[in-house]
A and B are shown apart, each in its own frame.
Chain A
Amino acid sequence: MISVVLVDDHPVVRAGLRALLAGQPDLEVVGEAAAADQAVSVVRGTAAAVVLMDLNLGVGPGGAEVTAALRQLATPPQVLVLTTYDTEADLRAAVDAGAAGYLLKDAPPEELFRAVRATARGETVLAPIVAARLMGRSGPSAPRLTEREVAIVELLARGLPNKDLARRLLISQATVKSHLSHIYAKLGVDTRAGAVARAIEQRIIRPPG
């Protein structure tokens, strides 16, 4: 029997996962947590083998931090990150924190069950798109924006005009425009909206809001 703890700040999601896993004879949900400190005490108390971890836990430490804390326990669980839309930075944070695997929530249930079993065996589970991205092959034309360029695209996605971009970043509007032309060239676009759309599609930024 593989003991599983669910860590997600959405009660409906936890209830759904619990119901799904209840149908599997070899998987048992032994605890739930909605936030970081709860997660550590529940896992410690239940000595669970696998933790299904959401990366965004609302207010407070996020899933990557919690993963790191759990991996410090005397008998650390294997952590399978199960989450919605995430960027490459989130992915790396989770892996660096010691997550054994990473699955997107749009995976079908069978894949989830397989992933939990594999994680319990100590195997690394990565959705194919995620694996490709980690190995630097995220598609035929993967634009690589610098940290600064990503920050600018995030501000573009919030609809800020150049003047506000410059004020926020403490540079001149001229330099903002220079960054924008580099960003447009890298993304293969020629408008702000195009840049934002492409960056979301390439998972360079999250959709705003």
Chain B
Amino acid sequence: MVRDLAPSELSADSSSGAALPALLREAGRQAGRHGRVQVEVAVHGDPVPLPDQVATALLRTARGALANVTEHAAARRATLTLTFHAESVSVDIRDDGRGFDPAALSSRPGRGRGLAGIRARAVALGGELVVESAPGEGTALAVSLPLGPSVVVR
């Protein structure tokens, strides 16, 4: 079972939806500095305060995905998009790097561990992880999580 402690910056944000976008922008900036990849962060829809677990999952997904980008992708640009809908919220990380074959990943024990953790966190919150990639075509990773009474925490 995956346990997450909510970063204190997120727990403190009870009155607005601004904390998560700001933390994502910071994560983007850091990845850009360390990985020599240009990271852009975009927010769409109306930001709302999110349950701690949801915000934490999205933030860790973004950080994990950005780590993968800087380590494996050989990308020049990555775009991190946070999208708010009425009943769900999602984060996409898309890079223009070398891409990979998602089917090949599961057969290599050392790699892909980051994705398994991200997927487990998403599923535990009633959401899902999608990985879209192909050699030479960059990579897009998206986690979407439901909001509201339909959130099921297993």
Say if A and B assemble together. Answer: yes
CB distance from A58 to the nearest CB of B (A): 32
**Given known A-B contacts A148-B45, A172-B141, A173-B140, A178 and B85 have beta carbons under 8 A apart:** yes
A84 in contact (CB, < 8 A): no
Contact A174 B132 (CB under 8 A): yes
CB distance from B24 to the nearest CB of A (A): 14
Per-residue CB contact flags for chain B residues 9-49 toward chain A (1 = under 8 Å, else 0) read 00000000000000000000000000000001010110000
Contact B44 A174 (CB under 8 A): no
Chain A residues within an 8 Å CB radius of B121: none
CB distance from A180 to the nearest CB of B (A): 12
Contact among A172, A178, A179 with B140 in the assembled complex (CB-CB below 8 Å): A172
**Given known A-B contacts A146-B44, A148-B45, A170 and B142 have beta carbons under 8 A apart:** no
A166 in contact (CB, < 8 A): yes
B130 in contact (CB, < 8 A): yes
Contact A172 B44 (CB under 8 A): no
Contact A170 B132 (CB under 8 A): no
A89 in contact (CB, < 8 A): no
Per-residue CB contact flags for chain B residues 99-141 toward chain A (1 = under 8 Å, else 0) read 0000000000000000000000000000000101000000011
A171 in contact (CB, < 8 A): yes
- Report the interface size class on chain A: 10 to 19
Chain B residues within an 8 Å CB radius of A148: 44-45, 83
A173 to B45, CA, bound (A): 18
Chain B residues within an 8 Å CB radius of A105: none
Residue of B nearest to A179 (CB): B83
Chain A residues within an 8 Å CB radius of B40: 170
Chain A residues within an 8 Å CB radius of B90: 175, 178
Q: Give the total of B residues in contact with A, Cβ under 8 Å.
A: 18
Contact B79 A175 (CB under 8 A): no
A172 to B138, CA, bound (A): 11
Contact A146 B45 (CB under 8 A): yes
Chain A residues within an 8 Å CB radius of B83: 148, 171, 175, 178-179
Contact among B42, B85, B130 with A174 in the assembled complex (CB-CB below 8 Å): B130
Contact B88 A175 (CB under 8 A): no
Interface residues of B in 74-92 (CB under 8 A from A): 79, 81, 83, 85, 88, 90, 92
B56 in contact (CB, < 8 A): no
Q: Could you give 24 example pairs across A and B, Cβ below 8 Å? A: A147-B44, A148-B45, A166-B132, A169-B81, A170-B79, A170-B81, A170-B94, A171-B81, A171-B83, A171-B94, A171-B140, A171-B142, A172-B132, A172-B142, A173-B132, A173-B140, A174-B142, A174-B144, A175-B81, A175-B83, A175-B90, A175-B92, A178-B85, A179-B83
Task: List the 5 closest pairs (A to B, CB-CB), nearest first.
Answer: A172-B142, A170-B79, A172-B140, A174-B130, A171-B92
